[in-house]
Amino acid sequence: MTLSKLSRRNFTLASAACLMANRTTSAAPLDSTLTSPYRSIATEPFPVPAIELSRVRPEFLRREVDDPTREAAGAIVVDPARHFLYLVLPGGKAMRYGVGVGRSGFAWSGEARVNSKQAWPDWYPPKEMLERQPHLARAMRKLRSGLGMPGGSGNPLGARALYLWQDNRDTLFRIHGTVEPWTIGTNASSGCIRMINQDVMDLYERVEPGARVLVLGAPAGYAKTTRGGDGLPPLHNLVRDPGGLAGRGLW
């Protein structure tokens, strides 16, 4: 065998070995501390299925990190550009969650407060949405607050919802679970902040009504909002009629 043939053979074998090593590395299992929170939950009024982790990028799984904000413990900071929500913890730490945020034209930034929170919330789509998507009517029922979809496994708001208010007014924005966990890390919603159900359940237990919520500036190219005197845009000034935004399918 000539030297050139031997060199080519060794190169081929070495290349194959590198490819196999890379495949082995990429297939390495995630740390169990990241995966265990996403198992199925059978102790709720409705089943919460396990998350198919292959459809969620690892960086969007819940984890405790060094606090990158300057907010007091208990505050919620949403970074739409990076698709992260931080719950500030004591001692310079924060719990970081992956989120889905508003698509182009629905993005927003500003400050609000958690007015209330609800487990397995009902969903009340506006009549304009029902007119545009008449198939939704089959899932609607007469509820105590009007025509809506009862809370449950198929409800678009998921297992938990935090209702955001500003100046004693409902902003119509929510932090809530989702029936589409594969949209975490994307701009897919109509303005609300989506979370994996297991994550919003964890956040729900940690946050009390009155908590400050700060949504950082939206990525470049998104719709701009009018800023208030404190440099932050009042959420209810995002549109002249907040109900009109809800009419486009806010969830």
Paired sense of beta strands 110-119 and 193-194, if any: unpaired
- Taking the C-alpha atoms of residue 250 and residue 248, their distance in angstroms, rounded to an integer, is 6
79, two tokens: 């970074």
* Same-domain status, 170 and 228: yes
Amino acid present at 100: G
- Predicted TM-score (pTM) of this structure: 0.74
| Residue with more model confidence, 217 or 12 | 217
- Taking the C-alpha atoms of residue 248 and residue 251, their distance in angstroms, rounded to an integer, is 9
Longest CA–CA span in the chain (Å) reads 86
pLDDT score of 201 more than 90: yes
* Same-domain status, 96 and 134: yes
* Same-domain status, 16 and 130: no
Count of other CB atoms within 10 angstroms of residue 57: 12
What torsion, rounded to 10 degrees, do the Cα atoms 43, 44, 47, 50 define? -70
CATH of residue 120:
2.40.440.10
* Same-domain status, 90 and 120: yes
Task: Point out which residues pair with 110 in neighbouring strands.
Answer: 215
Average model confidence (pLDDT) across the chain: 77
pLDDT digits (tens, 9 = 90+) for 137-196: 888 889 988 888 999 988 989 999 999 999 999 988 899 999 999 999 988 765 689 999
Residue 13: helix, strand or coil by DSSP? helix
Segment among 25-34, 82-91, 119-128, 157-166 with least mean pLDDT:
25-34
* Same-domain status, 184 and 135: yes
* Same-domain status, 5 and 106: no
* Same-domain status, 102 and 174: yes
* Same-domain status, 18 and 61: no
Q: What is the Cα gyration radius of the chain?
A: 22
* Same-domain status, 66 and 132: yes
* Same-domain status, 47 and 164: yes
Residue 145: what pLDDT? 86
Q: How many CA atoms lie within 13 A of 160 on its CB side?
A: 20
The domain containing residue 9 runs over which residues? 1-30
* Same-domain status, 18 and 44: no
Domain count, the chain: 2
Task: Point out which residues pair with 66 in neighbouring strands.
Answer: 93
* Same-domain status, 47 and 134: yes
Residue 251: what pLDDT? 45
Residue 151: helix, strand or coil by DSSP? coil
